[in-house]
Homo-oligomer: A and B are copies of this chain.
């Protein structure tokens, strides 16, 4: 560790973090918040401004609110960086671009033909990304791309499996690096993890809380954030909440295991249960929701069963993680609003009396959550301490260096 540069790096990152959180902040406030002197804060700001990361903010909506000389404010230079998130969904690709200040600059959807092989999908994705990035690349410094996939990705950037895409052992990073050589950093991430990160990144709790994210669609995807970090497990398979086996058989035969959580509460399970209770073939979840809202008896009975197992699942999750919050997302999650009471009652029934019950909320992000999360993850990397540089051999992490470079 080269001694001066390491502390300088830590302090630069901390300054960027403060400016990002406040949007607009004076040097004196930076100094107070970080416990450094004003002179050091000025020096750091000057250096970062020279590199184009920070800029003076001369907007006059001061309301300086107090005695003494008003501060001169700085903010992140939005044009310094552009982070691209691209989500590969079933039937479509979503591309989102975030600037250095954290604003979404562009967000677009592209249709994706099914039954394409992985290489063809990734060629489509590259073209979509280029279409979004090219008009922006003149005014923004494009720093990186994070692709999100509904599947398991290991540390070396290989998609081990993505059942809904029919992928197995796809070296996604290798392929994309060849397809997009101009992109300084390319990363890949599980879509549920990215969705969770997006939800967590804006209103994150200072103490580094534990939160669980459940994405309900045909399958059930899950992600856990603890201490600001995504739980990945040894090979990247962690968070497969939908595959927990809760009984000998569920409400429906699924692609996954008999009796799995998603065979009880996934989309197809609800529709099967609806038929079981005498309802017709609702066909899709929207129609089912309408039936339930209208008070259809079979729909209410199916929803009741759904609430029973979702409640039990939430109780298991509470016993294991004790999260402060569980965020539900995806098309099936909207059922939650119709039977929130029922679910929480079932959760409590499966917990010891004094066990804390997490707050359960619906995601505010739509279906673009994973793409936004991918972009957010790159944004976060840019204003995070490079652990390699500080704690290890002193050489910077190559990817981090390209992100900043």
User: Residues of A at under 8 Å CB distance from B?
Assistant: 1, 3-4, 6-7, 10-11, 14, 34-36, 160-161, 209-210, 222, 224, 226-227, 229, 231-241, 243-247, 256-257, 312, 315-316, 318-324, 350-352, 354-356, 358, 385, 390-395
Q: Is the CB of B1 within 8 A of A36?
A: yes
A322 with B238, Cβ < 8 A, contacts A3-B7, A229-B227, A243-B352 known: yes
Q: Is the CB of A1 within 8 A of B11?
A: yes
Q: Is the CB of B354 within 8 A of A243?
A: no
Q: Is the CB of A160 within 8 A of B354?
A: yes
> CA separation between A391 and B4, bound complex, in Å?
15
Q: List, in ascending order, chain B residues with CB within 8 A of A351's CB.
A: 243, 257
State how many angstroms separate the Cβ of A323 from the closest Cβ of chain B. Answer: 6
Q: Is the CB of B394 within 8 A of A320?
A: no
State how many angstroms separate the Cβ of A259 from the closest Cβ of chain B. Answer: 8
How many of these chains are in the complex? 2
State how many angstroms separate the Cβ of A384 from the closest Cβ of chain B. Answer: 11
> CA separation between A246 and B246, bound complex, in Å?
5
> CA separation between A257 and B243, bound complex, in Å?
23
Q: Is the CB of B235 within 8 A of A322?
A: yes
> CA separation between A350 and B247, bound complex, in Å?
10
Q: Is the CB of B322 within 8 A of A356?
A: no
Give which listed residue, B4, B209, B240, contacts A320 with CB less than 8 A.
B240
State how many angstroms separate the Cβ of A219 from the closest Cβ of chain B. Answer: 11
- Given known contacts A35-B395, A240-B319, A241-B320, what 9 new A-B pairs fall within 8 Å (CB)? A1-B10, A1-B36, A234-B323, A235-B322, A238-B321, A238-B322, A240-B355, A244-B320, A385-B391
Report, nearest first, the 9 A-B pairs whose CB atoms are least far apart. A233-B322, A35-B393, A237-B322, A234-B324, A238-B322, A240-B319, A35-B394, A243-B319, A245-B350
Q: Is the CB of B322 within 8 A of A234?
A: yes
> CA separation between A222 and B231, bound complex, in Å?
17
Q: Is the CB of A321 within 8 A of B35?
A: no
Q: List, in ascending order, chain B residues with CB within 8 A of A3's CB.
A: 4, 7
> CA separation between A394 and B11, bound complex, in Å?
11
